[in-house]
Chains A and B, each alone.
Chain A
Amino acid sequence: EVQLVESGGGLVQPGGSLRLSCAASGFPFSLYSMSWVRQAPGKGLEWVSYISSRSSPIYYTDSVKGRFTVSRDNAKNSLFLQMNSLRAEDTAVYFCARTSGNHRTPFDYWGQGTLLTVSS
């Protein structure tokens, strides 16, 4: 059974940093691209970042470029999102999602999400 479990969310002050993690199991993690998708409270879905199975290529949505860094450790079946210079508008539930192929494929499995709140 495919499982994706996010962790690392919490309350951070504006300008602060946080690192999210996503532990994957039930599938050959090293063969799949992954993405982060976020959902602000009561709002819709927004794709944040994509990382291919071998960590290249990597893509970001414009609003997080230069602030967020996605990475993965295939040996540990883990995906990460390092978030710096956090802003109030980054407040959201962050989901990790498996991409069934390259960046032009849908998200076929999702984790339950971890909540990031950016507030003073």
Chain B
Amino acid sequence: EIVLTQSPGTLSLSPGERATLSCRASQSVSSSYLAWYQQRPGQAPRLLLYGTSTRATGIPDRFSGSGSGTDFTLTISRLEPEDFAVYYCQQYDNSPNTFGQGTKLEIK
């Protein structure tokens, strides 16, 4: 199974700053099959990006994704208060599909 390792574990930033979250795969993942989710406390995960860089319905353009092979990045250009949450990457290229352990984005 493909193991996804996210870094950092916790990221402390202020509203208005730029956030860069990393997801590294234990083997190559097609960029067509990499997604990012946001999970706020007590809520269900929400799909942000799929196919590495395509925003899901209703996702603002401050969220962007990039990467290929084993290294992928989620960037939030200007943090809004509602962006402080846990973010997970997921690969659905190989079975079983797997998630990273998450990056917690907290207010500094």
By a beta-carbon cutoff of 8 Å, the part of chain A in contact with chain B is 37, 44-47, 59, 61-62, 95, 100, 103-113
Which B residues, 66 to 108, have Cβ-Cβ distances below 8 Å to chain A? Answer: 88, 90, 92-93, 95-102
Pairwise interchain contact B95-A103, C-beta atoms closer than 8 A: yes
Q: A44-B88, A44-B101, A44-B102 are in contact. Are A110 and B46 (CB under 8 A)?
A: yes
Give the chain B neighbours of A44 by CB distance below 8 A.
88, 99-102
Number of A-B contacts (CB under 8 A): 55
The contact sample of 19 A-B pairs, CB cut-off 8 A, is A37-B45, A44-B101, A44-B102, A45-B102, A47-B96, A47-B99, A61-B96, A100-B50, A104-B33, A104-B93, A104-B97, A105-B92, A106-B35, A106-B90, A107-B35, A108-B50, A109-B47, A110-B45, A111-B44
Residue of A44, A106, A112 with highest tally of chain B CB at under 10 A: A106
Give how many B residues have a beta carbon under 8 Å from the other chain's beta carbons: 23
How far apart sit A45 and B50, CA to CA, in the bound complex (Å)? 17
Q: Which residues of B contact A (CB under 8 A)?
A: 33, 35, 37, 43-47, 50, 56-57, 88, 90, 92-93, 95-102
Which chain B residues border A37 with CB–CB below 8 Å?
A: 45
A113 to B45 CA separation, bound complex (whole angstroms): 10
List the A residue with the shortest CB-CB distance to B35. A106
